Amino acid sequence: MSPEGAGWAWAVLVAALALPSAAIHGEGKMAPDAEGIPRAQPTPRDTAVFAGGCFWCMEPPFDKLDGVMATISGYAGGHVPNPSYEEVTGGGTGHREVVQVVFDPSRVSYDELLEVFWRNVDPLDAGGQFCDRGHSYTTAIFAWNQDQAQRARASKERIQARFRETVVTPVVEGAQFYPAEEYHQDYYLKHPLRYRFYRWNCGRDARLKELWGSPT
């Protein structure tokens, strides 16, 4: 897809995500209505939000999953509406860099997303992630409802059992999500060489292998 096409698609997706979760639908199976005329059945969609340090690095592992429809880099957990990248990384807004995952729960479960999240972060680091330091780069799971919150906390307990050190990743309920600027979206696809060099230089994969025993 061209940069212009990618930008247009991103803008449409962000507009759709402004709707309530129940109103986000896509094409699906055809089923007859009351008059027997086939009508498109909406594809079920849900959202999950995870903070795992640099949001560029959190899109790829979720994009690989069957059932994930989109990943959107953004900000969550702060007190300033519609923050910019400079404001968030400069500190003071309270936001973290996050990735919002739009997924079909009939094809991939929230529990599976949680497992992917854990294996792509250092849950023991309270000061940031890898070479990126500061609150905006710390980990968190943002839960949109009680079911997600309960599943996230149960998942955190399982992860804690793996380590002697404390798992510092909080489960945060009800935070507002703000999409990041368009140039941050799909950065790993737009600038693959820069992305791979940044990821390697940051020591992300080396630390993940040390923590989890295998590449992500």
Nearest CA to 141 among 106, 183, 101, 179?
A: 101
Asked if 56 contacts 73 with a C-beta cutoff of 8 angstroms, the reply is yes
Model confidence at 164: pLDDT above 80: yes
Asked if 60 contacts 75 with a C-beta cutoff of 8 angstroms, the reply is no
- Check 54, 57, 131, 202 and give the catalytic one: 54
Residue 33: predicted pLDDT: 54
Residue 16: predicted pLDDT: 45
Mean pLDDT of the chain: 86
**DSSP designation for 123:** T
Flag whether 145 is in a domain. Answer: yes
Flag whether 31 is in a domain. Answer: no
Residue 174: predicted pLDDT: 86
Residue 113 sits in a domain whose CATH number is 3.30.1060.10
Condensed to tens digits (0 to 9), the pLDDT of residues 94-132 reads 999 999 999 999 999 999 999 999 999 999 999 999 999
Is there a catalytic annotation at residue 131? no
Rounded Cα distance between 199 and 201, Å, is: 6
Flag whether 112 is in a domain. Answer: yes
Flag whether 26 is in a domain. Answer: no
* Token pair for 83: 């923050």
How many structural domains compose the chain?
A: 1
pTM for this prediction:
0.81
Rounded Cα distance between 113 and 115, Å, is: 5
Mean pLDDT of the region 59-70: 97
Residue 154: predicted pLDDT: 98
Condensed to tens digits (0 to 9), the pLDDT of residues 10-42 reads 444 444 444 433 333 333 444 455 565 655 556
Continuous H helices in 51-178 = 55-63, 85-90, 110-118, 146-160
Structural domain boundaries, residue 81 = 47-212
Q: Count Cβ atoms below 10 Å from residue 197 Cβ, excluding itself.
A: 11
| % of residues, the chain, pLDDT over 70 | 79
Residue 44: predicted pLDDT: 81
Task: Detail the DSSP E strand segments found in the chain.
Answer: 30-32, 38-40, 46-52, 68-76, 96-103, 128-129, 132-133, 139-143, 171-173, 177-179
Q: Classify residue 13 by burial, with Cβ atoms within 10 Å: 0-12, 13-18, 19+.
A: middle
One-letter identity of residue 126: A
Instruction: State the angle between helix axes of 110-118 and 55-63 in degrees (0 to 180), rounded to the nearest 10.
Output: 130
Flag whether 55 is in a domain. Answer: yes
